[in-house]
Chain A
């Protein structure tokens, strides 16, 4: 597999600003989904659609036709735990919307339905290696099919009673990737490899985020920085080489 070209990035982390934060507001998803879908969509789906829309707009990509990949360690965990609460009553049934919103691929399903995209989509997870494995799958997909793809990384907080000692906030980051040189690429990425690199400084609420490496990667691309970026897990996980603006 060869290196990939970044045509655009997206970031949706409501309430955060600064390194690795910023982007997105109260109307998260407003530009990405029609109102009827937006009312039904899960909070994670809104973040994902928002980040995807940003990356696609920056790259001039068509959200109705481009392959979309989601990497998320825990997926729709908020909805899944909310469903468990409804089981407290022995006769309890979840709402149908909550049930179908609980599957891991929910965010990319809304992205597909919202934009009429009848092509490829997938959703995967690999715990602390989620960012690296999503990039591996994206690189393999692009080697297989050529063209371009959007890969989005997202997780929301683990709800009580499962919240970890070091919590994180809901946030999503997206990259538009292409196999061929672009007219004005933001950066060129190497294929993920095992190795180590200095961890990027992120907003404290993102430091323990399962997709922290994706926020570091987007930050490096946005700031035009070249060099190796650790995409997790620290200290000896996976690394991507970034070459700013390379065509």
Chain B
């Protein structure tokens, strides 16, 4: 079994999240608890009607020393990273900067900057004078910013596996700590709204004209959002929530369509449970991938029910934030961690009337109560599946 051996339990020492619900964790939590969606009509120049989850407020400019790296993706990353800065400074002091690694998930990085530069080039025949492809578009430009802001000097890389990117960073973080490569890892994800994804998902006819409604009989597509989330994981420490396992599989089925029976998704969840030494009946909550496309939700429900039965409360949070693509995995892992810590399962917005073919126990209303463990699922183009298992401290 992949990753077998004694279960490894890694404390999550700090989390931070920002998206359409709010620019900081407290605002995001308040919106989740109030059942308030951040989805609004899309303000970008797009060729059809759609709603989006634009980041709440205008993300602050980067510090002057990083001005040449300026991009929306780095600005959002920087703002959300600030939410773990105090704990991170402690971790860098404790372990030493060379022992702190960075793994960041993104699907499109700074492509929005290149889209604007490319449009300017079409109009004028020249790229904007201040445009720097490597610093503003390329994934390593984002990595430069995160490295500079954290002071970490250990291994640093971007994982880019489309919508599974920042779920998979937690698998990398687990490996780096377990393998002795690092003692602490800043793991997270970030993505922004851009023409590439808004028009691309339009071309696939995968977008709803209204706020997406995961698991509903009335669902007709997803909504795209932007945001970031970061988690600080350390070799040792007291934390309310711990990372227990990360299952990573492939469907080997189709570039954009999931296996209709959700077999790859089920294997990812099973792998996470086996790594964590957790039985299916011990899972109390699933933060589903739940994109609100007809194919995804049906396949994911089959996978959840087939493996876990109908006891766990299942929520998709995409009706609040939109699909955050490369930031979805980390964001929803943070949501699952907050659910465990606070004993609160957010309502799956827009789920009623439920699709009768969806047999999973969808939380159509928010629920409170102690939760033992939670899974967070992310699936992606190319048939990539990741499932993150988190456990509450006893």
List residues of A whose CB falls within 8 A of some B CB: 1, 40, 73-75, 80-81, 83-88, 90-96, 99-106, 108-110, 112-113, 115-130, 133-134, 136-137, 139-141, 143-145, 158, 161-162, 164
B172 at the interface (CB under 8 A from A): yes
In contact, A124 and B383 (Cβ under 8 angstroms): no
- A132: min CB distance to chain B, Å: 8
In contact, A73 and B138 (Cβ under 8 angstroms): yes
In contact, B158 and A126 (Cβ under 8 angstroms): yes
Assembled-state Cα–Cα distance A100/B119 (Å):
22
> Which residue from A75, A85, A92, A118 sits with its C-beta under 8 Å from B249?
A118
Say whether, besides A118-B267, A133-B156, A91 and B161 are in contact (CB < 8 Å).
no
Residue-wise, chain B 198-210 has the 8 Å CB interface mask toward A (1 for contact) of 0111111000000
Say whether, besides A80-B111, A106-B382, A109-B382, A87 and B249 are in contact (CB < 8 Å).
no
Say whether, besides A139-B179, A140-B175, A121 and B200 are in contact (CB < 8 Å).
no
Say whether, besides A113-B253, A113-B254, A103 and B114 are in contact (CB < 8 Å).
no
Top 9 A-B pairs ranked by shortest CB distance? A109-B382, A127-B140, A104-B160, A99-B200, A140-B175, A133-B157, A143-B179, A126-B157, A93-B203
Please list 13 pairs of residues, one from A and one from B, whose beta carbons are closer than 8 Å in the complex, sorted by A's number: A80-B111, A84-B115, A88-B122, A90-B47, A93-B202, A94-B196, A94-B203, A99-B203, A124-B158, A125-B160, A133-B157, A144-B179, A162-B137
- What residues of A have a CB within 8 angstroms of the CB of B176 in the complex? 136, 140
In contact, B196 and A83 (Cβ under 8 angstroms): yes
B255 at the interface (CB under 8 A from A): yes
- What residues of A have a CB within 8 angstroms of the CB of B267 in the complex? 118
Say whether, besides A74-B138, A103-B381, A122-B248, A96 and B256 are in contact (CB < 8 Å).
yes
B277 at the interface (CB under 8 A from A): no
In contact, B181 and A1 (Cβ under 8 angstroms): yes
- What residues of A have a CB within 8 angstroms of the CB of B380 in the complex? 103, 105
List residues of B whose CB falls within 8 A of some A CB: 2-3, 45, 47, 107, 111, 114-115, 117-119, 121-122, 127, 133-134, 137-141, 143, 155-162, 168, 172, 174-176, 178-181, 195-196, 199-204, 248-256, 263-264, 267, 380-384
In contact, A143 and B382 (Cβ under 8 angstroms): no
- Beyond A73-B139, A99-B199, A119-B249, 20 extra complex contacts between A and B, CB < 8 Å: A85-B118, A87-B118, A99-B196, A100-B200, A103-B161, A103-B382, A106-B381, A113-B255, A117-B250, A120-B2, A123-B160, A124-B157, A125-B138, A125-B160, A126-B157, A136-B157, A137-B175, A143-B178, A162-B114, A162-B137
In contact, B264 and A118 (Cβ under 8 angstroms): yes
> Which residue from A73, A113, A127, A162 sits with its C-beta under 8 Å from B383?
A113
- What residues of A have a CB within 8 angstroms of the CB of B264 in the complex? 118
Say whether, besides A73-B138, A80-B111, A122 and B179 are in contact (CB < 8 Å).
no
In contact, A127 and B250 (Cβ under 8 angstroms): no
In contact, A108 and B138 (Cβ under 8 angstroms): no
Residue of A nearest to B203 (CB): A93
- B263: min CB distance to chain A, Å: 8
Assembled-state Cα–Cα distance A1/B180 (Å):
7
- What residues of B have a CB within 8 angstroms of the CB of A74 in the complex? 138
- A83: min CB distance to chain B, Å: 6
- What residues of B have a CB within 8 angstroms of the CB of A81 in the complex? 114, 118
In contact, B200 and A83 (Cβ under 8 angstroms): yes
- What residues of B have a CB within 8 angstroms of the CB of A120 in the complex? 2, 248-250
- What residues of A have a CB within 8 angstroms of the CB of B204 in the complex? 96, 99-100
- A67: min CB distance to chain B, Å: 8
Assembled-state Cα–Cα distance A106/B168 (Å):
16
Assembled-state Cα–Cα distance A133/B154 (Å):
11
In contact, B107 and A103 (Cβ under 8 angstroms): yes
Assembled-state Cα–Cα distance A119/B107 (Å):
21
In contact, B179 and A126 (Cβ under 8 angstroms): no
- B228: min CB distance to chain A, Å: 17
- What residues of A have a CB within 8 angstroms of the CB of B195 in the complex? 84, 87
Assembled-state Cα–Cα distance A95/B200 (Å):
8
In contact, B127 and A161 (Cβ under 8 angstroms): yes
In contact, A126 and B168 (Cβ under 8 angstroms): no
In contact, B115 and A87 (Cβ under 8 angstroms): yes
Say whether, besides A96-B203, A121-B250, A137-B172, A103 and B160 are in contact (CB < 8 Å).
yes
Residue of A nearest to B144 (CB): A127
In contact, A144 and B255 (Cβ under 8 angstroms): no
Assembled-state Cα–Cα distance A145/B174 (Å):
12
Assembled-state Cα–Cα distance A120/B115 (Å):
32
Assembled-state Cα–Cα distance A91/B127 (Å):
23
Residue of A nearest to B385 (CB): A118
In contact, A102 and B196 (Cβ under 8 angstroms): yes
In contact, A161 and B160 (Cβ under 8 angstroms): no
- A209: min CB distance to chain B, Å: 15
Say whether, besides A96-B203, A127-B138, A118 and B251 are in contact (CB < 8 Å).
yes
Assembled-state Cα–Cα distance A22/B387 (Å):
40
Which of A92, A99, A102, A119 has the most chain B CB atoms closer than 10 A to its own CB?
A: A99
Residue of A nearest to B267 (CB): A118
Say whether, besides A100-B381, A117-B252, A127-B139, A93 and B160 are in contact (CB < 8 Å).
no
Assembled-state Cα–Cα distance A87/B255 (Å):
23
- What residues of A have a CB within 8 angstroms of the CB of B249 in the complex? 118-120
Residue of A nearest to B172 (CB): A137
- B160: min CB distance to chain A, Å: 4
Assembled-state Cα–Cα distance A32/B134 (Å):
32
- What residues of A have a CB within 8 angstroms of the CB of B114 in the complex? 80-81, 84, 162
